Chains A and B, each alone.
Chain A
Amino acid sequence: GESVGLHLPTLSVQEGDNSIINCAYSNSASDYFIWYKQESGKGPQFIIDIRSNMDKRQGQRVTVLLNKTVKHLSLQIAATQPGDSAVYFCAEIRNAGNMLTFGGGTRLMVKP
Chain B
Amino acid sequence: KAGVTQTPRYLIKTRGQQVTLSCSPISGHRSVSWYQQTPGQGLQFLFEYFSETQRNKGNFPGRFSGRQFSNSRSEMNVSTLELGDSALYLCASRAEVRPGMNTEAFFGQGTRLTVV
Q: Which residues of A pack against B, CB within 8 Å?
A: 31-32, 34, 36, 41-46, 49, 51, 89, 91, 93, 96-105
Contacts and interface: CB of A to CB of B under 8 A. Distances in A.
Contacts of A101: 45
| Chain B interface size, under 10 / 10 to 19 / 20 to 34 / 35 or more | 20 to 34
Contact of B109 (A36, A43, A103, A104): A43
**Interface majority SS (helix, strand, loop, mixed), chain B:** strand
Nearest to A49: B104
Contacts of B6: 43
A97 B45 contact: no
B101 interface: yes
A31 to B, nearest CB: 7
A54 B43 CA distance: 26
B90 A98 contact: no
27 contacts: A32-B102, A42-B109, A43-B4, A43-B6, A43-B90, A43-B107, A44-B43, A44-B90, A44-B107, A49-B104, A89-B43, A97-B56, A98-B33, A98-B48, A98-B50, A98-B55, A98-B94, A99-B33, A99-B45, A99-B56, A100-B35, A100-B43, A100-B45, A102-B35, A102-B43, A103-B42, A105-B43
A61 B39 CA distance: 29
Q: Which of B31, B43, B101, B108 has the most chain A CB within a 10 Å cutoff?
A: B43
Interface in B92-115: 92, 94, 100-102, 104-110
